[in-house]
Amino acid sequence: MGGVAPGSGRQVSFGSFRDLLDEPRLLTLIGQALGLRPLDAERFVDAQGREVPLEDIHFTLQGNAEWQAQVYNFYMNRVR
């Protein structure tokens, strides 16, 4: 699952991250933060049309405390 972003402690597992892929706010975050667009339910591409592995997207978001907190909040809103 990778390391925890500095100072956060609010990591979302890869399985939970996958469960959030129907969350419009997560798709917006992925687009704005990483410059990726959805290709279908679980695939994303960069500006050149190259597919980016979902695991890489999860790892990148979890490696930034601000993005990690947003993903965590999306997850907590879903499970409440």
pLDDT tens digits, 64-74: 999 999 999 99
For residue 55, is it within any domain? yes
**Does residue 9 come out as left (phi exceeding 0), alpha (psi in the -120 to 50 range) or beta?**
left
pLDDT reported for residue 41: 86
For residue 49, is it within any domain? yes
- Residue 68 belongs to domain spanning: 14-79
For residue 53, is it within any domain? yes
For residue 35, is it within any domain? yes
Q: At residue 6, does pLDDT exceed 80?
A: no
For residue 70, is it within any domain? yes
Residue 8 pLDDT grade (very low, low, confident, very high; cuts 50, 70, 90): low
Mean pLDDT over 26-36 rounds to: 98
Q: At residue 29, does pLDDT exceed 70?
A: yes
Letter string b/e over residues 60-74, b meaning 16 or more CB atoms within 10 A of that residue's CB: bbbebeebbebbbeb
The domain total for the chain is 1
Question: Between 8 and 12, where is the model more confident?
Answer: 12
- The encoded tokens of residue 1 equal 């699952």
β strands within the chain, DSSP E: 37-40, 43-45, 51-52
For residue 21, is it within any domain? yes
For residue 51, is it within any domain? yes
